[in-house]
Protein backbone atom coordinates (compact mmCIF):
# COMPACT_ATOMS: atom_id res chain seq x y z
CA UNK A 1 0.00 0.00 0.00
CA UNK A 2 1.39 3.39 -1.03
CA UNK A 3 0.84 6.51 1.04
CA UNK A 4 0.65 9.88 -0.71
CA UNK A 5 -0.44 13.33 0.41
CA UNK A 6 -2.62 16.09 -0.99
CA UNK A 7 -3.87 19.19 0.79
CA UNK A 8 -7.44 18.67 -0.45
CA UNK A 9 -8.99 15.45 -1.73
CA UNK A 10 -12.32 15.49 -3.54
CA UNK A 11 -14.07 12.14 -3.67
CA UNK A 12 -16.22 12.31 -6.79
CA UNK A 13 -15.49 14.09 -10.05
CA UNK A 14 -19.09 14.91 -10.91
CA UNK A 15 -20.14 18.45 -11.70
CA UNK A 16 -19.88 19.47 -8.03
CA UNK A 17 -16.58 17.70 -7.50
CA UNK A 18 -14.90 19.07 -10.60
CA UNK A 19 -15.97 22.62 -9.70
CA UNK A 20 -14.60 22.08 -6.18
CA UNK A 21 -11.32 20.79 -7.57
CA UNK A 22 -10.83 23.63 -10.02
CA UNK A 23 -11.61 26.29 -7.40
CA UNK A 24 -9.34 24.72 -4.78
CA UNK A 25 -6.50 24.47 -7.30
CA UNK A 26 -6.98 28.07 -8.39
CA UNK A 27 -6.30 29.10 -4.81
CA UNK A 28 -2.90 27.42 -5.00
CA UNK A 29 -3.80 24.24 -3.11
CA UNK A 30 -2.48 20.81 -4.07
CA UNK A 31 -5.75 19.09 -4.93
CA UNK A 32 -6.79 15.57 -5.97
CA UNK A 33 -10.07 14.52 -7.60
CA UNK A 34 -10.98 10.83 -7.33
CA UNK A 35 -13.57 9.67 -9.86
CA UNK A 36 -15.03 6.19 -10.49
CA UNK A 37 -16.00 6.88 -14.12
CA UNK A 38 -13.59 7.61 -17.00
CA UNK A 39 -15.10 11.10 -17.47
CA UNK A 40 -15.35 14.22 -15.35
CA UNK A 41 -18.73 15.90 -14.98
CA UNK A 42 -21.03 13.33 -13.42
CA UNK A 43 -24.65 14.02 -14.26
CA UNK A 44 -23.95 16.52 -17.05
CA UNK A 45 -21.53 14.26 -18.96
CA UNK A 46 -21.03 10.72 -17.63
CA UNK A 47 -24.77 10.41 -16.91
CA UNK A 48 -25.77 12.26 -20.08
CA UNK A 49 -28.06 14.90 -18.55
CA UNK A 50 -26.80 17.48 -21.01
CA UNK A 51 -29.51 20.12 -20.73
CA UNK A 52 -28.91 22.61 -17.93
CA UNK A 53 -31.85 23.05 -15.58
CA UNK A 54 -32.28 26.53 -14.18
CA UNK A 55 -29.90 29.32 -13.17
CA UNK A 56 -30.84 31.14 -16.31
CA UNK A 57 -29.27 34.36 -17.52
CA UNK A 58 -27.12 36.12 -14.91
CA UNK A 59 -27.72 33.49 -12.23
CA UNK A 60 -25.24 31.21 -13.97
CA UNK A 61 -21.89 32.51 -12.79
CA UNK A 62 -18.59 31.07 -11.63
CA UNK A 63 -17.15 27.90 -13.16
CA UNK A 64 -20.64 26.89 -14.28
CA UNK A 65 -20.84 30.14 -16.26
CA UNK A 66 -17.42 29.47 -17.78
CA UNK A 67 -18.55 26.05 -18.94
CA UNK A 68 -21.86 27.35 -20.27
CA UNK A 69 -20.08 30.08 -22.26
CA UNK A 70 -17.69 27.55 -23.82
CA UNK A 71 -20.63 25.39 -24.88
CA UNK A 72 -22.56 28.33 -26.32
CA UNK A 73 -19.52 29.57 -28.24
CA UNK A 74 -18.83 26.10 -29.62
CA UNK A 75 -22.30 25.79 -31.13
CA UNK A 76 -22.40 29.39 -32.39
CA UNK A 77 -24.26 31.36 -29.73
CA UNK A 78 -27.04 31.22 -27.16
CA UNK A 79 -29.77 30.65 -29.74
CA UNK A 80 -27.94 27.57 -31.05
CA UNK A 81 -28.14 25.78 -27.70
CA UNK A 82 -31.83 26.55 -27.16
CA UNK A 83 -32.77 23.40 -29.07
CA UNK A 84 -35.11 21.82 -26.50
CA UNK A 85 -37.90 23.50 -24.59
CA UNK A 86 -36.69 22.12 -21.26
CA UNK A 87 -33.52 24.23 -21.24
CA UNK A 88 -31.80 27.26 -22.74
CA UNK A 89 -28.56 25.29 -22.91
CA UNK A 90 -28.69 21.88 -24.58
CA UNK A 91 -25.52 20.15 -25.76
CA UNK A 92 -23.93 16.80 -26.52
CA UNK A 93 -22.42 15.15 -23.39
CA UNK A 94 -19.07 14.60 -25.10
CA UNK A 95 -18.82 18.36 -25.71
CA UNK A 96 -19.47 19.11 -22.05
CA UNK A 97 -16.80 16.57 -21.12
CA UNK A 98 -14.34 18.16 -23.54
CA UNK A 99 -14.69 21.61 -22.02
CA UNK A 100 -14.65 20.38 -18.40
CA UNK A 101 -11.40 18.61 -19.21
CA UNK A 102 -10.01 21.84 -20.67
CA UNK A 103 -10.89 23.77 -17.50
CA UNK A 104 -9.40 21.10 -15.25
CA UNK A 105 -6.22 20.60 -17.29
CA UNK A 106 -5.33 24.29 -17.02
CA UNK A 107 -4.82 23.92 -13.26
CA UNK A 108 -1.28 22.84 -12.37
CA UNK A 109 -2.31 22.18 -8.78
CA UNK A 110 -5.04 19.72 -9.80
CA UNK A 111 -4.58 15.96 -10.21
CA UNK A 112 -7.37 13.61 -11.37
CA UNK A 113 -7.44 9.86 -10.79
CA UNK A 114 -10.05 8.21 -13.02
CA UNK A 115 -11.65 4.79 -12.55
CA UNK A 116 -10.71 4.91 -8.88
CA UNK A 117 -13.17 4.09 -6.11
CA UNK A 118 -13.45 4.76 -2.41
CA UNK A 119 -12.54 1.79 -0.23
CA UNK A 120 -12.32 3.32 3.24
CA UNK A 121 -12.46 6.69 4.98
CA UNK A 122 -9.70 7.22 7.55
CA UNK A 123 -10.91 8.85 10.71
CA UNK A 124 -9.48 9.42 14.18
CA UNK A 125 -11.98 10.53 16.80
CA UNK A 126 -13.86 13.49 15.27
CA UNK A 127 -11.39 14.15 12.45
CA UNK A 128 -11.26 12.67 8.94
CA UNK A 129 -7.70 12.68 7.67
CA UNK A 130 -7.55 10.45 4.60
CA UNK A 131 -8.90 7.64 2.45
CA UNK A 132 -7.95 4.26 1.06
CA UNK A 133 -8.69 3.94 -2.63
CA UNK A 134 -9.11 1.07 -5.07
CA UNK A 135 -6.92 2.11 -7.99
CA UNK A 136 -7.53 1.35 -11.65
CA UNK A 137 -4.61 -1.10 -11.84
CA UNK A 138 -5.88 -3.11 -8.87
CA UNK A 139 -3.64 -1.90 -6.06
CA UNK A 140 -4.83 0.03 -3.04
CA UNK A 141 -3.55 3.52 -2.29
CA UNK A 142 -3.71 5.31 1.03
CA UNK A 143 -3.91 9.08 0.72
CA UNK A 144 -3.67 11.54 3.60
CA UNK A 145 -5.00 15.06 3.45
CA UNK A 146 -6.00 18.14 5.42
CA UNK A 147 -9.54 18.39 4.01
CA UNK A 148 -11.79 15.93 2.18
CA UNK A 149 -14.71 17.07 0.03
CA UNK A 150 -17.66 14.66 -0.19
CA UNK A 151 -18.79 14.87 -3.83
CA UNK A 152 -19.92 11.32 -4.61
CA UNK A 153 -23.20 10.59 -6.33
CA UNK A 154 -24.67 8.73 -3.33
CA UNK A 155 -22.93 10.38 -0.36
CA UNK A 156 -20.66 7.38 0.20
CA UNK A 157 -18.06 9.37 2.17
CA UNK A 158 -20.75 10.06 4.75
CA UNK A 159 -21.52 6.37 5.09
CA UNK A 160 -17.90 5.20 5.09
CA UNK A 161 -16.81 7.97 7.43
CA UNK A 162 -19.62 7.40 9.94
CA UNK A 163 -20.85 10.96 9.41
CA UNK A 164 -24.49 11.52 10.44
CA UNK A 165 -26.82 11.93 7.47
CA UNK A 166 -30.45 11.89 6.34
CA UNK A 167 -31.93 9.65 3.67
CA UNK A 168 -35.49 9.62 2.43
CA UNK A 169 -38.39 11.87 3.31
CA UNK A 170 -38.03 13.86 6.51
CA UNK A 171 -40.58 13.66 9.31
CA UNK A 172 -42.73 16.79 9.66
CA UNK A 173 -42.16 17.07 13.41
CA UNK A 174 -38.38 17.06 12.82
CA UNK A 175 -38.17 19.69 10.07
CA UNK A 176 -41.37 21.63 10.72
CA UNK A 177 -42.08 21.67 6.99
CA UNK A 178 -45.71 22.14 6.07
CA UNK A 179 -45.55 19.62 3.22
CA UNK A 180 -43.36 16.97 4.85
CA UNK A 181 -44.99 13.61 5.66
CA UNK A 182 -46.10 12.79 9.20
CA UNK A 183 -43.57 9.97 9.42
CA UNK A 184 -40.12 9.46 7.96
CA UNK A 185 -39.89 6.99 5.08
CA UNK A 186 -37.35 5.90 2.48
CA UNK A 187 -39.07 7.35 -0.56
CA UNK A 188 -36.09 8.59 -2.56
CA UNK A 189 -36.18 10.25 -5.96
CA UNK A 190 -35.83 7.84 -8.87
CA UNK A 191 -32.54 7.34 -10.67
CA UNK A 192 -32.57 7.30 -14.48
CA UNK A 193 -30.28 5.72 -17.02
CA UNK A 194 -30.60 8.38 -19.67
CA UNK A 195 -29.91 7.75 -23.34
CA UNK A 196 -28.78 9.99 -26.15
CA UNK A 197 -30.85 9.23 -29.23
CA UNK A 198 -30.11 10.24 -32.78
CA UNK A 199 -32.42 10.72 -35.74
CA UNK A 200 -31.12 8.54 -38.57
CA UNK A 201 -31.66 8.87 -42.28
CA UNK A 202 -34.01 5.96 -42.76
CA UNK A 203 -34.26 3.26 -40.11
CA UNK A 204 -32.05 3.44 -37.00
CA UNK A 205 -30.31 0.35 -35.61
CA UNK A 206 -33.04 -1.60 -33.86
CA UNK A 207 -32.97 -1.81 -30.07
CA UNK A 208 -34.01 -5.26 -28.88
CA UNK A 209 -36.28 -5.47 -25.82
CA UNK A 210 -35.36 -7.23 -22.61
CA UNK A 211 -37.00 -10.44 -21.45
CA UNK A 212 -39.10 -8.34 -19.06
CA UNK A 213 -40.39 -5.99 -21.76
CA UNK A 214 -44.07 -5.15 -21.49
CA UNK A 215 -45.19 -2.26 -23.64
CA UNK A 216 -48.19 -1.70 -21.37
CA UNK A 217 -46.00 -0.13 -18.69
CA UNK A 218 -45.31 2.77 -21.11
CA UNK A 219 -48.91 3.44 -22.14
CA UNK A 220 -49.83 7.07 -21.42
CA UNK A 221 -46.22 8.26 -21.47
CA UNK A 222 -47.42 10.34 -24.44
CA UNK A 223 -50.74 11.06 -26.11
CA UNK A 224 -49.61 8.97 -29.09
CA UNK A 225 -50.40 5.76 -27.24
CA UNK A 226 -52.81 6.33 -24.39
CA UNK A 227 -55.95 4.79 -22.96
CA UNK A 228 -57.07 7.89 -21.07
CA UNK A 229 -57.16 11.60 -21.80
CA UNK A 230 -57.98 12.44 -18.17
CA UNK A 231 -54.83 14.21 -17.00
CA UNK A 232 -56.13 14.41 -13.43
CA UNK A 233 -56.42 10.64 -13.36
CA UNK A 234 -53.05 10.20 -15.04
CA UNK A 235 -51.46 12.85 -12.76
CA UNK A 236 -49.47 14.42 -15.62
CA UNK A 237 -49.87 16.29 -18.86
CA UNK A 238 -50.21 14.21 -22.04
CA UNK A 239 -47.71 15.41 -24.64
CA UNK A 240 -48.00 14.66 -28.32
CA UNK A 241 -45.02 13.36 -30.31
CA UNK A 242 -43.74 16.80 -31.31
CA UNK A 243 -43.84 18.05 -27.74
CA UNK A 244 -42.13 14.87 -26.55
CA UNK A 245 -39.33 14.85 -29.11
CA UNK A 246 -38.65 18.58 -28.74
CA UNK A 247 -38.53 18.36 -24.93
CA UNK A 248 -34.78 17.77 -24.73
CA UNK A 249 -33.65 18.14 -28.32
CA UNK A 250 -29.89 18.48 -28.59
CA UNK A 251 -27.78 19.93 -31.38
CA UNK A 252 -26.97 17.72 -34.37
CA UNK A 253 -30.33 15.92 -34.48
CA UNK A 254 -29.92 14.28 -31.10
CA UNK A 255 -32.26 13.88 -28.15
CA UNK A 256 -31.78 13.37 -24.43
CA UNK A 257 -34.13 10.62 -23.26
CA UNK A 258 -34.95 11.60 -19.68
CA UNK A 259 -38.73 11.62 -19.88
CA UNK A 260 -40.46 12.02 -16.50
CA UNK A 261 -43.80 10.40 -17.36
CA UNK A 262 -44.11 6.61 -17.36
CA UNK A 263 -40.86 6.14 -19.23
CA UNK A 264 -37.30 5.50 -18.03
CA UNK A 265 -37.29 6.69 -14.40
CA UNK A 266 -36.18 3.70 -12.35
CA UNK A 267 -37.82 3.24 -8.91
CA UNK A 268 -35.16 3.70 -6.26
CA UNK A 269 -35.08 2.19 -2.78
CA UNK A 270 -32.90 2.39 0.33
CA UNK A 271 -31.08 -0.71 -0.93
CA UNK A 272 -29.17 1.10 -3.68
CA UNK A 273 -27.69 3.48 -1.10
CA UNK A 274 -26.98 1.24 1.85
CA UNK A 275 -25.92 -1.87 -0.07
CA UNK A 276 -23.29 -0.68 -2.52
CA UNK A 277 -22.90 -4.16 -3.98
CA UNK A 278 -26.53 -4.03 -5.16
CA UNK A 279 -25.91 -1.11 -7.52
CA UNK A 280 -24.60 -3.28 -10.35
CA UNK A 281 -27.86 -5.22 -10.44
CA UNK A 282 -29.98 -2.07 -10.16
CA UNK A 283 -28.01 -0.47 -13.00
CA UNK A 284 -28.64 -3.52 -15.17
CA UNK A 285 -32.39 -3.25 -14.57
CA UNK A 286 -32.41 0.54 -15.07
CA UNK A 287 -30.58 0.14 -18.38
CA UNK A 288 -33.07 -2.50 -19.49
CA UNK A 289 -35.93 -0.12 -18.67
CA UNK A 290 -34.39 2.61 -20.83
CA UNK A 291 -33.63 0.28 -23.73
CA UNK A 292 -37.16 -1.11 -23.52
CA UNK A 293 -38.50 2.42 -23.82
CA UNK A 294 -36.32 3.06 -26.89
CA UNK A 295 -37.72 -0.15 -28.38
CA UNK A 296 -41.22 1.13 -27.55
CA UNK A 297 -40.46 4.41 -29.39
CA UNK A 298 -39.28 2.49 -32.43
CA UNK A 299 -42.24 0.11 -32.48
CA UNK A 300 -45.43 1.12 -30.65
CA UNK A 301 -44.89 4.85 -31.16
CA UNK A 302 -43.91 4.19 -34.78
CA UNK A 303 -40.60 6.06 -34.99
CA UNK A 304 -37.95 3.58 -36.17
CA UNK A 305 -35.84 6.50 -37.40
CA UNK A 306 -34.81 7.26 -33.79
CA UNK A 307 -32.14 5.08 -32.20
CA UNK A 308 -29.19 5.17 -29.85
CA UNK A 309 -26.43 7.56 -30.79
CA UNK A 310 -23.22 5.59 -31.26
CA UNK A 311 -20.80 8.53 -31.08
CA UNK A 312 -21.42 9.81 -27.54
CA UNK A 313 -20.24 7.27 -25.01
CA UNK A 314 -17.42 4.75 -25.55
CA UNK A 315 -19.51 2.02 -23.95
CA UNK A 316 -20.60 -1.35 -25.34
CA UNK A 317 -24.30 -0.52 -25.03
CA UNK A 318 -23.95 3.16 -26.09
CA UNK A 319 -25.52 4.21 -22.79
CA UNK A 320 -23.89 6.60 -20.29
CA UNK A 321 -21.32 5.39 -17.76
CA UNK A 322 -23.56 6.10 -14.76
CA UNK A 323 -27.23 6.80 -14.05
CA UNK A 324 -28.65 10.20 -13.20
CA UNK A 325 -28.78 10.16 -9.40
CA UNK A 326 -31.16 12.87 -8.23
CA UNK A 327 -30.99 12.38 -4.49
CA UNK A 328 -28.21 11.36 -2.15
CA UNK A 329 -27.52 10.83 1.49
CA UNK A 330 -27.74 14.34 2.93
CA UNK A 331 -25.35 15.39 5.66
CA UNK A 332 -26.62 16.63 9.01
CA UNK A 333 -25.03 20.02 8.66
CA UNK A 334 -24.59 23.11 10.76
CA UNK A 335 -27.52 24.60 8.84
CA UNK A 336 -30.49 22.67 7.41
CA UNK A 337 -32.15 24.34 4.43
CA UNK A 338 -35.89 23.71 4.63
CA UNK A 339 -39.03 24.32 2.61
CA UNK A 340 -39.61 27.72 4.26
CA UNK A 341 -36.15 28.84 3.10
CA UNK A 342 -36.95 28.52 -0.61
CA UNK A 343 -40.52 29.86 -0.75
CA UNK A 344 -41.46 33.55 -0.61
CA UNK A 345 -41.44 35.03 2.87
CA UNK A 346 -44.49 36.87 4.15
CA UNK A 347 -45.09 40.15 2.27
CA UNK A 348 -42.21 39.37 -0.09
CA UNK A 349 -41.58 37.86 -3.51
CA UNK A 350 -38.36 36.32 -2.23
CA UNK A 351 -37.44 33.82 0.49
CA UNK A 352 -35.88 35.18 3.65
CA UNK A 353 -32.36 36.50 3.17
CA UNK A 354 -29.43 34.15 3.75
CA UNK A 355 -26.60 36.50 4.73
CA UNK A 356 -24.09 33.61 4.68
CA UNK A 357 -25.07 32.61 1.12
CA UNK A 358 -22.51 30.83 -1.06
CA UNK A 359 -24.72 29.83 -4.02
CA UNK A 360 -28.05 30.56 -5.67
CA UNK A 361 -30.67 28.69 -7.67
CA UNK A 362 -33.95 29.38 -9.41
CA UNK A 363 -35.37 25.97 -10.38
CA UNK A 364 -38.75 24.81 -9.15
CA UNK A 365 -39.27 22.02 -6.61
CA UNK A 366 -39.09 19.11 -9.04
CA UNK A 367 -39.28 15.55 -7.74
CA UNK A 368 -39.18 12.35 -9.78
CA UNK A 369 -41.07 9.39 -8.36
CA UNK A 370 -42.52 6.77 -10.68
CA UNK A 371 -45.02 6.15 -7.87
CA UNK A 372 -46.67 9.42 -8.89
CA UNK A 373 -48.20 7.55 -11.84
CA UNK A 374 -49.48 4.28 -10.39
CA UNK A 375 -53.17 3.76 -9.70
CA UNK A 376 -54.65 6.54 -7.51
CA UNK A 377 -55.19 4.34 -4.44
CA UNK A 378 -51.52 3.26 -4.54
CA UNK A 379 -50.08 6.57 -5.64
CA UNK A 380 -47.41 8.54 -3.79
CA UNK A 381 -48.86 11.97 -3.04
CA UNK A 382 -46.22 14.62 -2.50
CA UNK A 383 -47.54 18.19 -2.49
CA UNK A 384 -44.83 20.72 -3.22
CA UNK A 385 -45.19 24.50 -2.91
CA UNK A 386 -44.22 27.09 -5.50
CA UNK A 387 -40.75 28.27 -4.61
CA UNK A 388 -38.75 31.33 -5.69
CA UNK A 389 -35.09 32.04 -6.52
CA UNK A 390 -33.20 30.98 -3.40
CA UNK A 391 -29.82 31.08 -1.66
CA UNK A 392 -27.79 28.32 -0.02
CA UNK A 393 -25.85 29.28 3.13
CA UNK A 394 -22.34 28.08 3.94
CA UNK A 395 -23.51 25.99 6.91
CA UNK A 396 -25.17 23.53 4.52
CA UNK A 397 -21.67 22.42 3.44
CA UNK A 398 -20.30 21.85 6.94
CA UNK A 399 -21.15 18.72 8.95
CA UNK A 400 -21.97 18.83 12.63
CA UNK A 401 -19.17 17.70 14.94
CA UNK A 402 -16.88 16.28 12.24
CA UNK A 403 -13.61 17.98 11.31
CA UNK A 404 -11.69 17.79 8.05
CA UNK A 405 -14.79 17.36 5.86
CA UNK A 406 -16.67 19.65 3.47
CA UNK A 407 -19.81 18.45 1.68
CA UNK A 408 -20.83 19.12 -1.92
CA UNK A 409 -22.88 17.58 -4.77
CA UNK A 410 -26.35 16.41 -3.62
CA UNK A 411 -25.19 15.57 -0.10
CA UNK A 412 -25.42 19.13 1.25
CA UNK A 413 -27.63 19.74 4.27
CA UNK A 414 -31.10 20.19 2.80
CA UNK A 415 -34.37 18.39 3.36
CA UNK A 416 -35.86 15.91 0.90
CA UNK A 417 -38.26 18.62 -0.24
CA UNK A 418 -35.52 21.19 -0.89
CA UNK A 419 -33.43 18.60 -2.72
CA UNK A 420 -35.99 19.05 -5.50
CA UNK A 421 -34.51 22.47 -6.34
CA UNK A 422 -30.94 22.16 -5.03
CA UNK A 423 -30.05 19.01 -7.00
CA UNK A 424 -29.87 20.61 -10.46
CA UNK A 425 -26.61 20.85 -12.39
CA UNK A 426 -25.95 24.61 -12.07
CA UNK A 427 -26.67 24.71 -8.34
CA UNK A 428 -24.49 21.64 -7.76
CA UNK A 429 -21.62 23.25 -9.67
CA UNK A 430 -21.99 26.47 -7.66
CA UNK A 431 -22.13 24.69 -4.29
CA UNK A 432 -19.20 22.58 -5.46
CA UNK A 433 -17.19 25.68 -6.25
CA UNK A 434 -18.02 27.02 -2.79
CA UNK A 435 -16.92 23.71 -1.23
CA UNK A 436 -13.61 23.98 -3.06
CA UNK A 437 -13.13 27.55 -1.83
CA UNK A 438 -13.98 26.57 1.75
CA UNK A 439 -11.62 23.57 1.71
CA UNK A 440 -8.77 25.62 0.26
CA UNK A 441 -9.24 28.43 2.77
CA UNK A 442 -9.24 25.93 5.62
CA UNK A 443 -5.86 24.68 4.38
CA UNK A 444 -4.50 28.21 3.92
CA UNK A 445 -5.68 29.27 7.38
CA UNK A 446 -4.58 26.00 9.00
CA UNK A 447 -8.00 25.52 10.58
CA UNK A 448 -11.05 23.30 10.34
CA UNK A 449 -13.55 24.17 7.58
CA UNK A 450 -16.13 25.05 10.22
CA UNK A 451 -13.84 27.76 11.57
CA UNK A 452 -13.42 29.62 8.26
CA UNK A 453 -15.16 33.02 8.22
CA UNK A 454 -18.07 32.89 5.77
CA UNK A 455 -17.17 36.40 4.59
CA UNK A 456 -13.78 35.12 3.42
CA UNK A 457 -15.51 32.42 1.36
CA UNK A 458 -17.93 34.97 -0.08
CA UNK A 459 -15.05 37.26 -1.13
CA UNK A 460 -13.39 34.42 -3.05
CA UNK A 461 -16.66 33.50 -4.75
CA UNK A 462 -17.60 37.05 -5.70
CA UNK A 463 -14.13 37.56 -7.16
CA UNK A 464 -14.75 34.36 -9.17
CA UNK A 465 -18.02 35.77 -10.53
CA UNK A 466 -20.41 33.65 -8.47
CA UNK A 467 -23.78 35.13 -7.61
CA UNK A 468 -24.63 34.96 -3.91
CA UNK A 469 -27.97 36.76 -4.27
CA UNK A 470 -30.32 35.92 -7.17
CA UNK A 471 -30.70 38.83 -9.59
CA UNK A 472 -31.39 37.51 -13.07
CA UNK A 473 -30.13 40.66 -14.84
CA UNK A 474 -26.86 41.61 -13.10
CA UNK A 475 -24.14 39.62 -14.86
CA UNK A 476 -20.75 39.15 -13.27
CA UNK A 477 -19.25 41.27 -16.06
CA UNK A 478 -21.35 44.27 -14.98
CA UNK A 479 -19.50 46.93 -12.91
CA UNK A 480 -22.49 46.79 -10.55
CA UNK A 481 -22.00 43.07 -9.83
CA UNK A 482 -19.94 43.02 -6.63
CA UNK A 483 -21.58 46.25 -5.47
CA UNK A 484 -25.17 45.00 -5.59
CA UNK A 485 -24.23 41.50 -4.43
CA UNK A 486 -22.43 42.87 -1.37
CA UNK A 487 -25.32 45.19 -0.51
CA UNK A 488 -27.87 42.40 -0.89
CA UNK A 489 -26.01 40.27 1.65
CA UNK A 490 -26.36 43.20 4.06
CA UNK A 491 -30.12 43.36 3.47
CA UNK A 492 -30.19 46.10 0.80
CA UNK A 493 -31.91 44.36 -2.11
CA UNK A 494 -34.67 44.83 -4.67
CA UNK A 495 -37.75 42.74 -3.96
CA UNK A 496 -39.77 42.80 -7.21
CA UNK A 497 -41.84 40.02 -8.73
CA UNK A 498 -39.51 39.64 -11.71
CA UNK A 499 -36.47 38.93 -9.49
CA UNK A 500 -34.46 41.50 -11.42
CA UNK A 501 -32.45 44.48 -10.24
CA UNK A 502 -33.60 46.75 -13.08
CA UNK A 503 -30.77 49.25 -12.69
CA UNK A 504 -32.40 52.08 -14.65
CA UNK A 505 -35.69 52.19 -12.72
CA UNK A 506 -36.18 55.33 -10.63
CA UNK A 507 -36.22 54.80 -6.87
CA UNK A 508 -39.38 56.04 -5.17
CA UNK A 509 -39.46 57.66 -1.72
CA UNK A 510 -41.00 54.47 -0.32
CA UNK A 511 -38.30 52.26 -1.78
CA UNK A 512 -35.55 54.58 -0.62
CA UNK A 513 -37.00 54.63 2.89
CA UNK A 514 -36.85 50.84 2.97
CA UNK A 515 -33.10 50.99 2.36
CA UNK A 516 -32.48 53.89 4.73
CA UNK A 517 -34.29 52.06 7.52
CA UNK A 518 -31.39 49.60 7.57
CA UNK A 519 -28.88 52.35 8.36
CA UNK A 520 -28.42 53.37 11.99
CA UNK A 521 -26.30 56.49 11.49
CA UNK A 522 -28.64 59.51 11.20
CA UNK A 523 -25.98 61.61 9.44
CA UNK A 524 -25.68 59.04 6.67
CA UNK A 525 -29.47 58.75 6.44
CA UNK A 526 -29.83 62.50 6.02
CA UNK A 527 -27.11 62.56 3.41
CA UNK A 528 -28.84 59.87 1.34
CA UNK A 529 -32.42 61.07 1.84
CA UNK A 530 -32.32 63.23 -1.31
CA UNK A 531 -31.68 60.25 -3.61
CA UNK A 532 -35.33 59.48 -4.40
CA UNK A 533 -36.06 59.86 -8.09
CA UNK A 534 -32.57 58.73 -9.09
CA UNK A 535 -31.98 55.39 -10.77
CA UNK A 536 -31.22 52.27 -8.79
CA UNK A 537 -27.80 52.30 -10.39
CA UNK A 538 -27.06 55.70 -8.84
CA UNK A 539 -28.75 55.00 -5.51
CA UNK A 540 -26.95 51.71 -4.94
CA UNK A 541 -23.58 53.25 -5.74
CA UNK A 542 -24.22 55.83 -3.01
CA UNK A 543 -25.49 53.17 -0.62
CA UNK A 544 -22.41 51.04 -1.24
CA UNK A 545 -20.07 53.93 -0.49
CA UNK A 546 -21.96 54.74 2.70
CA UNK A 547 -22.46 51.19 4.00
CA UNK A 548 -18.91 50.06 3.30
CA UNK A 549 -17.37 53.43 4.21
CA UNK A 550 -15.79 53.89 0.79
CA UNK A 551 -14.68 57.44 0.03
Q: Is the pLDDT of residue 99 over 70?
A: yes
Adjacency order of strands within the sheet including 306-308: 249-250, 254-257, 195-199, 306-308
State the pTM of this model. Answer: 0.97
* 249 band by pLDDT with thresholds 50, 70 and 90: very high
Distance separating alpha carbons of residues 58 and 60, to the nearest angstrom: 5
* 550 band by pLDDT with thresholds 50, 70 and 90: confident
Name which residue leads in pLDDT, 227 or 550: 227
Q: What is the mean pLDDT of residues 3-22?
A: 95
Q: Is the pLDDT of residue 226 over 80?
A: yes
Distance separating alpha carbons of residues 346 and 349, to the nearest angstrom: 8
Go through the domains of the chain in sequence order and give each one's CATH number. 2-170+327-463 (3.50.50.60), 191-308 (no CATH), 481-547 (no CATH)
What's the mean pLDDT when you consider all of the chain? 97
* 1 band by pLDDT with thresholds 50, 70 and 90: low
* 4 band by pLDDT with thresholds 50, 70 and 90: confident
Q: Residue ranges of the alpha helices (H) in 310-424?
A: 416-422
% the chain with pLDDT above 90: 96
Q: Is the pLDDT of residue 248 over 70?
A: yes
Q: Is the pLDDT of residue 211 over 80?
A: yes
Tens-digit pLDDT profile for residues 317-343: 999 999 999 999 999 999 999 999 999
Q: How far does the chain reach from its first CA to its final CA, in angstroms?
A: 59
Burial code (b: 16+ CB inside 10 Å, e: under 16) for 144-173 equals ebbbbbbbbbbbbbbbbbebebbbbbbbee
% the chain with pLDDT above 70: 99
Tens-digit pLDDT profile for residues 492-510: 999 999 999 999 999 999 9
Q: What is the mean pLDDT of residues 487-493?
A: 98
Distance separating alpha carbons of residues 414 and 339, to the nearest angstrom: 9
Task: Give the least confident one: 64-73, 522-531, 537-546.
Answer: 522-531
Which residues are CB-neighbours of 38 under 8 A, at least 6 positions away? 46, 114, 115, 314, 321
Structural contact between residues 24 and 436, judged by C-beta atoms closer than 8 angstroms: yes
Question: What SS3 class is residue 94?
Answer: helix
Q: Is the pLDDT of residue 257 over 90?
A: yes
* 372 band by pLDDT with thresholds 50, 70 and 90: very high
Q: What's the pLDDT at 433?
A: 98
Distance separating alpha carbons of residues 4 and 122, to the nearest angstrom: 14
Question: What SS3 class is residue 459?
Answer: helix
Helices 509-516 and 536-547 meet at what angle, rounded to 10? 20
Q: What's the pLDDT at 2?
A: 64
Q: What's the pLDDT at 551?
A: 59
DSSP string, 181-229: -SS-B---PPEE--EEEEE-SSPPPPPPPPTT--GGGGTTSSTTS-S--
E strand or H helix at 168, and its extent?
none
* 269 band by pLDDT with thresholds 50, 70 and 90: confident
Q: Is the pLDDT of residue 407 over 80?
A: yes
Tens-digit pLDDT profile for residues 434-449: 999 999 999 999 999 9
Amino acid sequence: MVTTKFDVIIIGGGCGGVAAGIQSARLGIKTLIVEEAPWLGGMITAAGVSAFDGNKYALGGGIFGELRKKIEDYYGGVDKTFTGWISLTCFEPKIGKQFLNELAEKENNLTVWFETSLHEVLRENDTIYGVRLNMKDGHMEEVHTKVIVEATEYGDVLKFGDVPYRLGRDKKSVTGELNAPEEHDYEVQDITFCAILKKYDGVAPKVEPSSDYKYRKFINSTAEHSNSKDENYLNHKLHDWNSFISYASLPNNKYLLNWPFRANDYPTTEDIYENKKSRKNHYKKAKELTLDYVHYIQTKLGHPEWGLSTDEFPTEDNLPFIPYVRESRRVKGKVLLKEEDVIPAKNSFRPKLQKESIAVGDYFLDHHHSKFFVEPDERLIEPLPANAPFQIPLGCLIPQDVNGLVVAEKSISVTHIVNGCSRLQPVVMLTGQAAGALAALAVKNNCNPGDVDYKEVQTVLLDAGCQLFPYKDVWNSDPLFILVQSLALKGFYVDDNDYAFNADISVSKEELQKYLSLIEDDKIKNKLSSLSGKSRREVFKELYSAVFNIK
